[in-house]
Structure 1
Amino acid sequence: MEYNELFARTELLIGREAMQSLATKKVILFGVGGVGSWCAEGLIRSGIMHLTMVDSDRVATANINRQLPATTQTVGELKVEVLKKRLQEINPHATINALPEIYSEESSPSFHLEQYDYVIDAIDSLGHKAHLLTTAAQSNATIFSSMGAALKIDPQQIKVAEFWKVRGCKLASALRERLRKGLKLQKPILCVYSEERLPNIGQEALSDANENGSFRKAQTNGTMVQVTAVFGFTLSGLVIQDIVKVKNELNFTN
C-alpha cells in the first residue's frame, strides 16, 4: 500500500506540503506507558515517518487498563518492541527505532538530542524528567512534556500550558522546585496537565495486588485510560499542529 493512500484523509485536511513536512521531521519519545504509547500511535497515524521510542520497561499485567502495548498476550515483552510491531503494521514505510533503555544523566549523551526536531517527555521519574527537560532545552528541538496523569477520571479537564504556568499538578510543582535549585530551562516548554486530583479509594485492591506481586512500586496511584490516552493524543497533536502551523501558517491554538 502506498504512503499517499494511507494518509489521503490527512492530506485532504492539511495539504500536501504539510504532509511532506511531517514526513521529514524526526521525533524522539521518552516513555511509552499510559501516556507515551498513545502519543506514539497518534504520531504515526498522522504521518510522522521518523520516530524513536525510548523505554526499558516490559509489559506488566497492571498496565493492561491503560497502556496501548499491554494485552494478556504481551505480558513480559518489551513495550517498545510490541509498540514498534504495531506501528510498523500501521505504516510500514515509517522508520521506527525502539530503544529499550533508560534515560538518565549518565545515558543522556547516547541519545543525541541534537539530531531531532521534536523531543517528547512522557517519563515518570522526577530526576530523569528534570534532566531530560533541561538537556533538551539546550538543543534546537521543540519540546513537549506530560505532567502527572494519575488520580484523574475526567478528560475534559485536561489542559495545555507553558511549564511555569502549569497549576494544580504535584509533579509540575516538584519539577519547578528542583529547577529553581540549580537546573535551568533555556526555552519555553508546553505541557499537558490536569488540575483534577482524586483520592485512591480502592486501597484493599491495591494491598492485594502488592501482596500478589502485581505492582513493583510500593506507592501506586489509580490511573484510567480515558485520561492517559487523551494526554498522549494531546502531545502528538501538539507536534502535528506545530509542524502544520509553521508550514501553512494556520492559526492553531494550544
Structure 2
Amino acid sequence: MLNQFSRTELLFGKEAMDHLEGSRVAVFGIGGVGSYTVEALARSGVGIIDIFDDDKVCLTNINRQLIATRKTVGKYKVDIMKERVLEINPKAIVNVHQCFYSPENADEFDFSEYTYIVDAIDTVTAKLELIMRAKAAGVPIISCMGAGNKLDPTRFEVVDIYKTSICPLAKVMRKELRARGIKELKVVYSKEPARTPIEDMSISCRTNCICPPGTERKCTVRRQVPGSTAFVPSVAGLIIAGEVIKDITGVK
C-alpha cells in the first residue's frame, strides 16, 4: 500500500523501513544543522525521535534554521520541530526535551534507550559529555564539527575525528577526546577554512541583541557570533541524517 515513505522503500526495502519505524534517534541541538537532520529522519520513517534544545526561535535564525519563520519567532524550537514532524508522520513519537544538555543534567537521560545519537550542538563541554555518555552506553553517535563562517557546502566529509584537519573545533575535539581515551568518533566536518566575520556593529548581535524574551543563553555571551548561510549547515544536517539512516538499516 502506498504511503508517505513509499519512494524511500523502493530503495531500502520493507524490512529496512520496518527497522526505521522501530528505531529511536536522539538529536541534540535543533539549529541550522539539527533541524534539517530531524526533518530528514522524520521523512525517512524513523518512528521515535527525541529532540533536545532550550532555545527559542530568533529573527536571526531565519537565514538557516528549518523551523525559523516570522510566525515562529519567540517560540521554543523543540515545540515547532515536534509539530513539523507530526505533520509529516502523525504516527511518529516525538519526545521533547526543552533543555540545554550539559554535564549537570546528563544523569537525567538513559542513553541505552536510543538506537542512535546525533550531536548537533556547538559547546565543547556539552559535546564531550554527550560523546562520553554515548560511548559508555554503547550507542552509535555522529558528531558535527564547525559549520559556521563557511560558504562551500561541497567541502563536507564523513570521517573519523582523528582524520580531520583545518577545522578549529575538530582540533579541540581531537585533543580532548584523546585525553579521555576515546579511540574513534564518526564526524561530519568541512575542509573549508573558516572565514572571519565582517566587523560591522550595526548588524552585530553584541550591540543589537534581539533574542526573544526569556532566552536562557543569549548570543551576547559568546566569544564570537559566527556568520552563517542557508546552504552550509543544512547540508551538514542532511549528510548526518543520511549516515544515521544507512547505519541503522545497514543499506549502503
Q: TM-score, normalised by structure 1?
A: 0.90
Q: CA deviation at 1:208?
A: 4.3
Is the CA contact (8 Å cut-off) linking 2:205 and 2:225 kept in structure 1?
A: no
Letter in 1 for 2:136: Q
Letter in 1 for 2:246: Q
| Aligned-partner SS, 1:98 | strand
1:137 alignment counterpart: 135
Q: Equivalent residues in 2 for 1:113-152 (5 A)?
A: 113-152=111-150
Give CA deviations for 1:172-215 in whole Å, capped at 9, x if unaligned.
1111222334x232x63210000112423521156544322134
- For the pair 1:226 / 2:231, whether they are aligned, the reply is yes
Note the 1:157-168 alignment, pairs <5 A: 157-168=155-166
Q: Does 2:187 align with 1:184? A: no
* Cα deviation digits, residues 206-252 of structure 1 (max 9, x gap): 6544322134335111111211001000110001111222xxxx4x2
- Look up the match of 1:193: 189
Matches of 2:121 and 2:8, distance apart in 1:
29
Would you say 1:66 and 2:64 are equivalent positions?
yes
Query: 1:148, CA displacement in angstroms?
Result: 0.6
1:204 aligns with 2:200: yes
**Aligned twin of 2:101:** 103
Q: 1:239 to 1:77 in 2, by over 3 A?
A: same
Q: Which residue of 1 aligns with 2:213?
A: none
Do the aligned partners of 1:117 and 1:140 also contact (CA within 8 Å) in 2?
no
Among candidates 22, 27, 34, match of residue 36 of structure 1 = 34
3-state SS of the aligned residue for 1:5? Answer: coil
Q: Distance in 2 between matches of 1:162 and 1:206?
A: 40
Of 98-107 and 194-203, the range deviating more from structure 2:
194-203
Distance 1:132 1:202 in 2: 32
Percent identity for Structure 1 against Structure 2 = 38
User: Residue type matched to 1:184 in 2?
Assistant: G
Residue in structure 2 matching 1:238, options 239, 243, 247: 243
The CA deviation at 1:34 is 0.6
Does the CA contact (< 8 Å) of 2:197 and 2:226 recur in 1? no
Task: Give the corresponding residue for 2:173.
Answer: 175
Please give the alpha-carbon distance, in whole angstroms, between the structure 1 residues aligned to 2:202 and 2:248.
42
Between Structure 1 and Structure 2, the one with more helix by share is 1
CA distance in 2, matches of 1:189, 1:117: 16
- Give 2:20's aligned residue: 22
Q: Return 5+ residue gaps in structure 2 as ranges.
A: 211-218
* In 1, Cα distance between equivalents of 2:197 and 2:140: 39
Q: Report if aligned partners of 2:47, 2:93 keep a CA contact under 8 Å in 1.
A: yes
The Cα RMSD (Å) is: 1.6
Q: For residues 206 and 94 of structure 1, do their structure 2 counterparts lie closer, same or farther at Cα, with a shift above 3 Å needed?
A: farther
Contact residue 202 and residue 208 of structure 2 kept, 8 A: no
Give 5+ residue unaligned stretches, structure 1.
none
Cα distance change, pair 89–156 in 1 and its aligned pair in 2 (3 A): same
**TM-score, scaled to structure 2:** 0.91
Cα distance in structure 1, aligned partners of 2:167 and 2:131 = 17
